[in-house]
Amino acid sequence: MPRSPIRVACVLFAALSCAGRAHAVPSAANSTLPRHVLLVGRLGDLADTTAGACSMVVRDAANSPIARCVVELRVLNCFGTRLSSEPYAAGTTIRCETSGVLQTTDIHGEVRMTAVGAGTPGSAPGAGPCSQIYAAGVLLGIITLATLDMDGRDGLTPHDVSLWLTDLASGELRGRADFDGDGVLTAHDLSIFLTVWAAGRSQESAASYCP
Ligand SMILES: [Ca+2]
């Protein structure tokens, strides 16, 4: 039996709605997103939430928080970025098809997610916003992203620092090395790396990456 246009429309609307409130559709204008996200390493089974956690609040057109809404942070369009195939965080799932980190909003419409991943030595560096944030399929915004673990192995090591120095010496804005997301590479970015390295929660790289 062919599907009626009304039924198809309802199914599509349901896919774009969140479960928290009837007809609650996320609003890009009213939702709160981070300006920047930092891909981090892990220690054992735990993502480095201290360095990498970022909060997002999903709201609808009436500015009301939307609970039970699936939020996805996608790194698909960030050059050379490799996302861990394991989340290393409770309540988080990984969708490798879209290089996405997924969480469901709480009763306050909020998620607090950490993305474990790395760069790829020799890849195009990229610059500017590249990481997309979706809620229930609605694009809320695109933010900048950087990767502390620039080579994707052995956690944070002097080799990552050497890769960062290479990016610095290029004189270009290379987004992967802009750890504070201010649009310029400075000693402050290196200080962030050293702080995270000293804290020891990004000692290990992901065990495997999305293909
Ligand atoms: Ca490394």
Tell me the pLDDT tens digit for each residue of 103-149: 999 999 999 999 999 999 989 888 889 999 999 999 999 999 999 99
Pairing relation of β-strands 46-47 and 82-83? Answer: unpaired
Number of domains in the chain: 1
Residue 9, in any domain of the structure: no
Residue 185 tokens, joined: 């590479």
pLDDT digits (tens, 9 = 90+) for 178-204: 999 999 999 999 999 999 999 999 999
The predicted model scores a pTM of 0.88
Counts of helices then strands in the chain (DSSP H, E): 4, 12
**5, part of any domain:** no
d(CA 155, CA 206): 8
Does residue 187 form part of some domain? yes
> How far does the centroid of ligand 1 lie from the alpha carbon of residue 104, in Å?
30
Tens digits of residue pLDDT in 2-46: 445 444 443 344 445 576 555 689 999 999 999 999 999 999 999
Distance CA 187, CA 24 (A): 44
Residue 204 included in any domain? no
Q: To which H or E segment does residue 187 belong?
A: helix 187-199
The answer to whether residue 7 sits within a structural domain is no
Residue that has been written with the tokens 């039970």 in this structure:
68
Domain that holds residue 24: 17-199
Which strand (E) or helix (H) includes residue 94? strand 93-95
Ligand 1 centroid to residue 35 C-alpha, Å: 24
3-class DSSP assignment, residue 10: helix
53 located within any domain:
yes
Residue 207 lies in a domain: no
Please check whether residue 100 lies inside any domain of the structure: yes
Interval between CA 151 and ligand 1 midpoint (Å) = 5
The rounded Å distance from CA 152 to ligand 1 centre is 5
